[in-house]
């Protein structure tokens, strides 16, 4: 899944200019709609267009999406297939902040050909369109302004023509008539207060939506559809919570804006406001402004980081001579009276530090909200309490204080949970109200989150105006330098090499100190993709965990971060070479290296910054970062060269195999898969081998060293299932799914001969490959051409490929055509729905899900798919996991072995 670009903001070297701009307006733009040129280049044009009309617009959320910056707390949501009339803007105008959700579109088109049609007919797929870059299209952006600076918000809307369909609408459909009577959805008190101002300045009418309905609608959608939306936060530790859709209701939604509303939610559209308090975010800001002279809410929050509330608050220990009041469960540090010490001390306001005042005020209000929330939850027997609203802002101390209050008063019975999109619930609900569009049917597996690079923040703030295109982003990355401990990017340590890439420090932990922004939420781009499905052959999808490596272990995290950092220079070399080694490619390569290093450094410091972290997520993040800087396929030329070299010797290998007995051939085939899996450019050990010999030499060396027993060796059990024992011949498998890995020898000399053997036995074969490039992994778009070339050397492959629709565009006639008329089991190719060396089977393409429904054998090949992920996965059918281990630490951790050990793990259904 590709989200290729994002709109970063000015960096550290530009802070001075940015702060001058902030002084003029204090506007904080969380996400903007500029479409980077890289994404335009990759998305073929389409005939669809968007224009405004006076009729009620319809929102098409099929295959929608989230896209966001490196530092963002609030995600952008992509809408790939929007082609009908659509209002491009919805607002939540509160007493303190204006929140905007607005739409921009990327153009895209699907690929449909005769081969695809044959596949769809055979698998019964009605909606599975393979696309070279399947997730582009539109997206929803999230922006906030301070309410008292509403004129700046209006200027922003006007500058982007959001009230007239957006500036990009003129590009898609320049002849569309302008609607001077546009209507914009809005919620919040300001929708009434400022209606005349919107009409006067923009000529638009505000269609007012019920505030509570919008809050609940936004929250329900996010909680049901986003895997890592909700999390707990205690003592600085963030833990994401996945909630079963069937167990979501009822819950208490506590929205903390200027005031606080508490809403009991019983279902979609079923809710009631059961309580609230006038002591909320407005109280904190208002009192804070009076007591500390702070000019903004964020400034007040920053002050609290340096405060000591014990200088102002009266604690239990102050009353009991430093002792706990253990009889009633109160520790000496418990606040007995907020601001209580000010009564007895002979001090004026100026004698207290603004930092101490800010923290005392924050704790007073947060404890109060937490307690009232729990009491209302207790009143209705609710165990889950979700907190949202811009009072929280991903702020660690705020969340810890609320969590402590809920835990304390409930004695651990209830949990406080927080939302990543905390401040935009109302605005999102207002946007959704344009049309009831079936969002209730979306589930977690329909969404994929990506994290394109934006400008890393300083002290939790976003500085400067948005950048408009990739060139500006690269310029920003070139200025991105370390400053103290607040910046998470590494610093070049060596002169540029041939690619312009300098050396980069390995990210290291900054220690246990909680930074002011340590818990700030990093929100990516949420791709809503209703065609993604849970792999139907998982034995238990609810307990399935794709990641084998536990990155919650800090030493494990540090090790894999070091591996990725050390591999970075070689990866940049390959990426730059794939683009012809031009100066532009070198510059983009440098920018990619800085961007990905910054991702690693941020995650090393805060592993939960992007949600629950696994090795698969890290590897996919790297591939997405490459695409962001327009490296479409970094190993393209290498794959082509390896494919050609391997195809040249395939015919001889097939002749050799056909001369063997059945039992010898089966063992040789499995040995061949294991031997060929040594070719992996993601492995440092493999890269070193490439410098010592040719592909064929390495393959032969690897095959010659195949000696059983292997480290994990279930071959004999697999052989018995395939060949039977004694006079008993087993029934062939009906359909086998072969998850292929690397291009070149891996697929051509390893997996294709194995597929041929299965076809020979009457088993349908489905080759499953990546939707997008990742390292030297093969893609589903590349595989049919390889099959067509291989079929020139084998009539078994030729007949099967014809039956599977793979040769409609490249007919093979070098063999006896009469044999092509005979019936044959099909050989098919499907995409897996991802662009990573690993695969998460909770989110696969509809093609793969359809193919899996009649499959009774799965073969997972390669470290990424069979070891890094899915080594412990269990299925509803026979499963064979094959891989050569090319990482010493993985060998030790997973199989207690050594590098180049082999895994042949067979797990029969019964």
- Total number of domains in the chain: 4
pLDDT at 659: 95
Structure tokens at 416: 């406080």
Look at 28-32, 101-105, 357-361 and tell me which has the smallest mean pLDDT.
28-32
For 35-44, the pLDDT digits (tens) are 333 333 333 3
pLDDT at 11: 26
Is a pLDDT exceeding 80 seen at residue 670? yes
Structure tokens at 666: 């089966």
Ordered DSSP codes for 841-853: TTSB-HHHHHHHT
* Integer Cα distance of 230 and 245 in angstroms: 13
pLDDT more than 70, % of the chain:
71
- Quick one: 245 and 391 in the same domain? yes
Pick the last residue of a domain from 406, 438, 470: 438
Q: For Cα atoms 182, 187, 190, give the angle at the middle one, nearest 5 degrees.
A: 95
pLDDT at 753: 96
pLDDT at 527: 54
> Quick check: 619 and 549 in contact, CB under 8 A?
no
The alpha-carbon radius of gyration of the chain (Å, integer) is 29
* Integer Cα distance of 725 and 730 in angstroms: 8
**Better-predicted residue by pLDDT, 272 or 480:** 272
- The domain of 187 spans 59-106+135-166+180-229+421-438
Q: Does residue 483 fall inside a structural domain?
A: no
- Quick one: 90 and 74 in the same domain? yes
Is a pLDDT exceeding 70 seen at residue 464? no
Structure tokens at 832: 């897996």
- Quick one: 212 and 307 in the same domain? no
> Quick check: 164 and 410 in contact, CB under 8 A?
no
Q: Strand, helix or coil at 800?
A: helix
Run of H or E including 797: helix 795-803
Q: Does residue 508 fall inside a structural domain?
A: no
- Quick one: 555 and 691 in the same domain? no
Is a pLDDT exceeding 70 seen at residue 450? no
Q: Does residue 484 fall inside a structural domain?
A: no
Backbone phi and psi for residue 314, each to the nearest 5 degrees, phi listed first: -85, 120
Beta bridge partners of 260: 256, 277
Q: With left for phi above 0 and alpha for psi between -120 and 50, is residue 537 left, alpha or beta?
A: alpha
Other Cβ atoms closer than 10 A to 831: 24
- Quick one: 388 and 403 in the same domain? yes
- Quick one: 658 and 775 in the same domain? yes
Q: Does residue 523 fall inside a structural domain?
A: no
Q: How far is CA 804 from its chain centroid?
A: 33
Region 101-114 average pLDDT: 54
- Quick one: 834 and 743 in the same domain? yes
- Quick one: 150 and 260 in the same domain? no
Backbone phi and psi for residue 287, each to the nearest 5 degrees, phi listed first: -65, -40
- Quick one: 411 and 430 in the same domain? no
* Integer Cα distance of 518 and 137 in angstroms: 33
Give the CATH number for residue 716: 3.40.50.10880
Residue 526 pLDDT grade (very low, low, confident, very high; cuts 50, 70, 90): low
* Integer Cα distance of 608 and 616 in angstroms: 14
Q: Does residue 671 fall inside a structural domain?
A: yes
Distances (CA, A) of 277 to 256, 274, 368, 390, 528: 9, 11, 9, 16, 35
Query: Counting beta carbons within 10 angstroms of the beta carbon of residue 464, is it exposed (0 to 12), middle (13 to 18) or buried (19 or more)?
Result: buried
Give the CATH number for residue 101: 3.30.420.510
- Quick one: 248 and 212 in the same domain? no
- Quick one: 153 and 249 in the same domain? no
**Better-predicted residue by pLDDT, 111 or 663:** 663
Which residues are CB-neighbours of 441 under 8 A, at least 6 positions away?
530
Other Cβ atoms closer than 10 A to 299: 17
Average pLDDT, the chain: 76
Q: Does residue 518 fall inside a structural domain?
A: no
For 379-397, the pLDDT digits (tens) are 999 989 999 887 887 788 8
**Residue appearing with tokens 């730059």:** 576
Structure tokens at 257: 């804006």
* Integer Cα distance of 818 and 804 in angstroms: 18
Q: For residue 709, is the peptide bond before it cis, meaning its omega torsion is within 30 degrees of 0?
A: yes
Q: For residue 250, is the peptide bond before it cis, meaning its omega torsion is within 30 degrees of 0?
A: yes
Distances (CA, A) of 772 to 627, 634, 766, 867: 10, 11, 18, 20
Is the overall model pTM greater than 0.75, yes or no? no
Which residues are CB-neighbours of 196 under 8 A, at least 6 positions away?
none
Contacts 24+ apart (CB under 8 A), 568-573: 568/501, 568/504, 568/593, 568/596, 568/597, 569/497, 569/499, 569/501, 569/503, 569/593, 570/687, 571/622, 571/626, 571/634, 572/499, 572/501, 573/498, 573/499, 573/501
Q: Does residue 474 fall inside a structural domain?
A: no
Give the CATH number for residue 304: 3.30.420.40
> Quick check: 530 and 446 in contact, CB under 8 A?
yes
CA-closest candidate to residue 627, choices 138, 7, 66, 133: 133
> Quick check: 416 and 406 in contact, CB under 8 A?
yes
**Residue appearing with tokens 């093609």:** 847
Residue 480 pLDDT grade (very low, low, confident, very high; cuts 50, 70, 90): low
> Quick check: 777 and 743 in contact, CB under 8 A?
yes
- Quick one: 663 and 799 in the same domain? yes
| Residues 354, 357, 363, 366, Cα dihedral to 10° | -80
What single DSSP character describes residue 749? I
Structure tokens at 741: 């890995």
Q: Does residue 43 fall inside a structural domain?
A: no
């Amino acid at each position: 899944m590709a989200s290729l670009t994002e709109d970063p903001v000015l960096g550290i070297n530009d802070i001075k200019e940015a702060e001058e701009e902030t002084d003029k307006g204090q506007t904080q733009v969380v996400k903007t709609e500029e479409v980077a040129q890289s994404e335009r280049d990759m998305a073929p044009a389409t005939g669809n267009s968007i224009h405004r009309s006076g009729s009620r617009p319809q929102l098409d959320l099929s295959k929608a999406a989230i896209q966001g910056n490196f530092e963002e707390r609030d995600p952008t949501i992509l809408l790939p297939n929007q082609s009908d009339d659509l209002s491009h803007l919805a607002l939540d105008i509160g007493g303190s902040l204006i929140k905007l959700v607005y739409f921009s579109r990327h153009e895209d088109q699907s690929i449909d050909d005769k081969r695809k049609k044959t596949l769809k007919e055979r698998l019964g797929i009605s909606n599975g369109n393979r696309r070279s870059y399947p997730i582009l299209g539109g997206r929803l952006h999230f922006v906030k302004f301070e309410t008292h600076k509403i004129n700046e918000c209006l200027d922003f809307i006007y500058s982007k023509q959001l009230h007239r369909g957006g500036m990009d609408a003129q590009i898609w459909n320049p002849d569309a008539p302008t609607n001077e009577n546009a209507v914009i959805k809005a919620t919040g008190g300001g929708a009434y207060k400022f209606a005349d101002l919107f009409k006067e300045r923009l000529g638009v009418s505000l269609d007012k939506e019920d505030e509570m309905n919008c809050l609940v609608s936004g929250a329900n959608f996010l909680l049901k559809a986003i895997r890592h939306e909700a999390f707990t936060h205690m003592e600085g530790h963030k833990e994401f919570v996945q909630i079963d859709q069937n167990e979501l209701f009822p819950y208490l939604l506590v929205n903390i804006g200027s005031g606080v509303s508490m809403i009991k939610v019983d279902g979609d559209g079923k809710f009631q406001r059961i309580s609230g308090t006038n002591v909320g975010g407005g109280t904190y800001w208002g009192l804070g402004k009076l007591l500390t002279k702070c000019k903004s809410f964020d400034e007040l929050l920053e002050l609290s980081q340096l405060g000591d509330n014990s200088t102002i608050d009266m604690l239990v220990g102050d009353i009991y001579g430093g002792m706990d009041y253990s009889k009633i469960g109160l520790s000496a540090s418990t606040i007995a009276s907020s601001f209580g010490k000010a009564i007895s001390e002979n001090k004026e306001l100026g004698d207290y530090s603004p930092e101490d005042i800010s923290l005392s005020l924050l704790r007073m209000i947060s404890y109060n909200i937490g307690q009232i929330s729990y009491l209302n939850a207790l009143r209705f027997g609710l165990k889950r309490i979700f907190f949202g609203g811009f009072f929280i802002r991903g702020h660690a101390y705020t969340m810890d204080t609320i969590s402590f209050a809920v835990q304390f008063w409930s004695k651990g019975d209830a949990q406080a949970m927080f939302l990543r999109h905390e401040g935009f619930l109302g605005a999102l609900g207002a946007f959704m109200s344009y049309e009831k569009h079936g969002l209730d049917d979306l589930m977690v597996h329909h969404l994929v989150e990506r994290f394109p690079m934006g400008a890393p923040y300083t002290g939790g703030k976003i500085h400067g105006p948005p950048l408009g295109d990739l060139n500006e982003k690269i310029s920003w990355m070139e200025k991105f330098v370390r400053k103290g401990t607040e910046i998470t990017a590494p610093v070049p340590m060596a002169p540029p090499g041939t690619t312009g890439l300098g050396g980069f420090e390995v990210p290291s932990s900054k220690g246990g100190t909680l930074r002011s922004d340590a818990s700030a939420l990093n929100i990516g781009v949420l791709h809503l993709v209703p065609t993604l499905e849970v792999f139907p052959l998982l034995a238990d999808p609810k307990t399935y965990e794709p990641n084998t490596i536990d990155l919650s272990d800090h030493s494990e995290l540090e090790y894999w971060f070091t591996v990725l950092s050390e591999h970075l220079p070689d990866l940049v070399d390959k990426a730059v070479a794939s683009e012809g080694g031009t100066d532009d490619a070198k510059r983009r390569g440098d920018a990619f290296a800085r961007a990905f290093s910054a991702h690693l450094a941020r995650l090393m410091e805060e592993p939960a910054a992007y949600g629950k972290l696994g090795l698969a997520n890290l590897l996919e993040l790297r591939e997405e970062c490459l695409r962001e800087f327009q490296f479409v396929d970094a190993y393209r030329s290498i794959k082509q060269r390896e494919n050609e070299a391997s195809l040249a010797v395939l015919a001889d290998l097939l002749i050799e195999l056909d001369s063997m007995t059945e039992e010898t051939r089966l063992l040789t085939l499995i040995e061949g898969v294991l031997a060929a899996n040594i070719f992996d450019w993601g492995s440092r050990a493999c890269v070193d081998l490439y410098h010592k010999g040719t592909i064929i030499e390495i393959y032969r060396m690897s095959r010659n060293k195949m000696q059983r027993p292997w480290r994990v060796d279930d071959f004999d059990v697999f052989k018995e299932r395939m060949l039977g024992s004694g006079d008993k011949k087993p029934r062939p498998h009906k359909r086998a799914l072969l998850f292929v890995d690397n291009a070149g020898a891996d697929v051509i000399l390893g997996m294709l001969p194995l597929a041929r053997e299965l076809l020979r036995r009457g088993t349908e074969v489905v080759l499953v490959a990546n939707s997008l490039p990742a390292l030297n992994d093969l893609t589903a778009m590349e595989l049919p051409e390889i099959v067509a070339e291989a079929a020139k050397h084998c009539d078994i492959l030729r007949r099967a490929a014809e039956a599977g629709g793979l040769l409609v565009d490249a007919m093979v006639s070098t063999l006896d055509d009469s044999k092509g008329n005979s019936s044959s089991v099909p050989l098919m190719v499907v995409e897996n729905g991802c662009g990573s060396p690993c695969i998460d089977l909770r989110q696969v393409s509809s093609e793969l899900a359809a193919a899996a429904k009649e499959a009774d054998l799965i073969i997972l090949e390669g470290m990424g798919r069979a070891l890094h992920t899915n080594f412990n996965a269990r299925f509803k059918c026979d499963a064979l996991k094959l891989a050569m281990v090319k990482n010493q630490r993985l060998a030790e951790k997973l199989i207690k072995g050594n590098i180049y050990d082999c895994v042949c793990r067979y797990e029969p259904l019964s």
